[in-house]
A and B are shown apart, each in its own frame.
Chain A
Amino acid sequence: QLVQSGVEVKKPGASVKVSCQASGYSFTTYNINWVRQAPGQGLEWMGWISPDNGNTNYAQSLLGRVTMTTDTSMRTAYLELRSLRSDDTAVYYCARDAFSYTSALVGYMDVWGKGTTVTVSS
C-alpha cells in the first residue's frame, strides 16, 4: 500500500512537499507516479520517478516548479511543488506502476495512495 501525508494549506508563492510511504512490495522495483486532480476535474499526470536510480520524467507544464525524490531507506517518495498558484489546488495522488521498471509495460498504475489535499489560498 501507499500511505500519503496529510492535508496542506499554502499561500500563493509558497512550496509544498507531499510524501508517499510504500509497504508490502519491493520499493525499488516499481516506478512511482504522481497524479493530481483539481476539484471537480479530471486526472493530470505530473511525472514519475524510479526509486531504483532516481531517474525522473516530468510533465512539460510543471518543468521548473516540480521535483520528485525518493528515500529508499524510508521507502518513501516525495513530491515538491514550488511557486504555488491557486490553480495548483488539487488532490495529489501517488501511484505505483503496475509492472516493474524493467518491463515493457511501464505506465499503468495499479496501487494508489488515498490522496493528499493541497489548498492554495491567500
Chain B
Amino acid sequence: IVLTQSPDTVPLSPGERAILSCWASQSIGNSLAWYQQKPGQAPRLLIFDASNRATGIPARFSGSGSGTDFALTISSLEPEDFAVYYCQQRSNWPPWTFGQGSKVE
C-alpha cells in the first residue's frame, strides 16, 4: 500500500491552521497514524486509528478520514509544531508503510 502526502512543504505562520493530506493506494479503513518528527529527533506518535489522539497530544491536533483519504489538522500552529509530519498505515498485515512526509515551515 502506497501512501502519498500533500503538500510536500507548506509555509505557515504561528496561529494559522495547517491541514495535511494523506492518500492511500487502496482502502485501509481507519488504520492510519500520524507522526511528527523534528530535526535530529525520533518520530512522535500523534494520532492513531485515523482520529484518536495519542497520550499527551494537545487537542489542537486532530485527524480525520477513512478508506483512502485522510487529513491531519493543526488548528492553531504553535512555534513547536513546525516539523515534518508522516502518515503511516497498518492495514490488515505487514508491511507497514509511511508517506513521504509533509514539512510545515
A residues apposed to B, CB below 8 Å: 33, 35, 42-45, 47-48, 57, 59-60, 93, 95, 98, 105-110, 112-115
- Indicate whether B48 reaches chain A with its CB closer than 8 angstroms: yes
Q: CB distance B42 to A93 under 8 Å?
A: yes
Closest to B42 in A: A112
B interface size (C-beta, 8 A): 25
Offer 19 A-B interface pairs, CB within 8 angstroms, sorted by A.
A43-B37, A43-B86, A43-B98, A44-B98, A45-B94, A45-B96, A45-B98, A48-B94, A57-B93, A57-B94, A59-B95, A98-B45, A105-B48, A105-B49, A107-B96, A108-B88, A110-B55, A112-B43, A114-B41
Q: CB distance A45 to B97 under 8 Å?
A: yes
Q: CB distance B42 to A108 under 8 Å?
A: no
Residues of A within 8 A of B48 (CB): 98, 105, 108
Q: Add 10 more A-B contacts to A35-B43, A42-B86, A108-B48 (CB < 8 A).
A: A33-B96, A42-B98, A43-B98, A43-B101, A93-B43, A105-B48, A107-B96, A108-B90, A109-B45, A113-B42
